[in-house]
Amino acid sequence: MTQRRQPIRENMMLALDTLRTHKFRAFLTILGVLIGTTTVIGVASIFEGLDQRVVEMMEGFGTRTLFIFKFNGGIHTTGLSHEEAIRKPLTYEDAMAIREMCPSVETVAVEVMDWGPPVTAKYKGVEMDNANFGGPTPEEFRTINTELKDGRLFTEIDNFHRRDVAVLGADVVKRLFQTEDPIGKEINVDGHSFEVIGALDKRKQFLGDNGNDRIIYIPYFTFRKYHPSDKENLITAMAYPGKLDQAKDEIEGLLRRRRNVKWSEPDNFGISSADSIIQQFRAIMGTVVLVTIVISSIGLMVGGIGVMNIMLVSVTERTREIGVRKAIGARRSDIAWQFLLEAMSLTGAGGVAGILAGYALSFLIRTLVPSLPSTVPLWSTAAGFIVSVSIGLFFGLWPAVKASRLDPIVALRYE
């Protein structure tokens, strides 16, 4: 066992000594490997950070909650089709039917949505012109895991009597009231006055801006009182623990009957959950990462070709050295391993440098752009090193074989 290990150790030392002797040439040789590895690490770190942020944000809305709208929810990579655009809205009565006829559903809420531009909210001369405006039933505060920071949430009594009360998102409170207590104050929204009765905690953000923190909630029927023409309703349904799939099937069957969808036709509404939106995001980002890795592989291939070229030059330059080693008893396998290890050391060094550069790039992104999360996953580090060493093994194979096949007599005569 010792006789087999010693040559490999010696060959590794020879390979490292060659790298030290030709530092600049080695750097130029591994530059493609370094750039390719850095790109893969950087992209993987951004993807991992975004994935964690999306999971945190979506799970913050509830892992048992279903979001039901007239077209498919989630992430839209293309525009709506004409058929989706002309679909009839879901109704308040649809939500009440789900509550009464779907046994796997624990609670249901419905929100009438304002699809116009952001509204302007005012308080004592201070304005906020990018506020979102919605009118949910009180159950929505539970279905989407809303956390109250101050005051109270409006109730079914407030909703039934169409009271002019409002619950504000964290950014609205910060912009309009700054250090002042908002509870009990009157604000003007879209030309109407509302008493602030509650303030919400800040939600998890995604890439900096969170529209849920710029929200102004008023009761459902109060909203309909001032905006009778708005008919777009979003329904949220919370399933009993362990019954999310059953609840989805029950809601789908009920809405198909209520919306007169034939058995041969697809749904004319969409049902999404936090998990389905997360999976959709991962599918999209997975494609982006795959394309980036394919492009980065070009850099790795260029680096590999450079390594092969340099190793062939090295074989030519060291022909007499190879002849001397063979003359004093070196085997063909010893010569092959010497040059293979040298090629693998070259690309391995490039991989390590790329990994370090990738970590530095991730830290730089996190520091300069706090809203863009970046976390280097361990798998990308391992993959970067293994691939870089494999590049050296593959592209160093032919030079190593060529060196091992040299005739020692011819090699000793080489000038």
Beta bridge partners of 148: 200
Question: Is residue 222's pLDDT more than 70?
Answer: yes
Which residue from 124, 183, 110, 191 is spatially nearest to 152, judged by alpha carbons?
183
What per-residue confidence (pLDDT) applies to 2? Answer: 43
The mean per-residue pLDDT over the stretch 59-75 comes to 79
Higher per-residue pLDDT: 87 or 198: 198
The pLDDT tens digits of the residues spanning 340-376 come to 888 888 888 888 988 999 899 888 888 887 777 778 8
**Residue 3 pLDDT:** 41
Give residue 106's pLDDT: 92
What does the pLDDT look like over 149-159, one tens digit per residue? 999 999 999 99
Q: What is the pLDDT of residue 1?
A: 39
Per-residue model confidence (pLDDT) at position 196: 94
Q: What percent of the chain has pLDDT over 90?
A: 29
DSSP of 193-258: EEEEEEEEPPPPPSSS--GGGGEEE--HHHHHHH-TT---EEEEEEEPTT-HHHHHHHHHHHHHHH
In this predicted structure, what is the pLDDT of residue 313?
80
The tokens for 183 are 């509870």
Alpha-carbon torsion (57, 60, 66, 71), positive or negative: negative
Reported as half-sphere exposure (CB side, CA atoms, 13 A), residue 5 has a value of 2
> What pLDDT is recorded for position 18?
66
**pLDDT on residue 223:** 94
The per-residue pLDDT for 15 is 63
Beta pairing, strands 119-123 & 126-136: antiparallel
| Structural contact between residues 43 and 293, judged by C-beta atoms closer than 8 angstroms | yes
Q: Is the pTM above the cut of 0.85?
A: no
User: Which among 231, 239, 210 is positioned nearest to 99, based on CA atoms?
Assistant: 239
Q: What integer pLDDT is reported at residue 14 of this predicted model?
A: 65
pLDDT band at 315 (very low <50, low <70, confident <90, very high): confident
In contact, 33 and 296? CB cutoff 8 Å: no
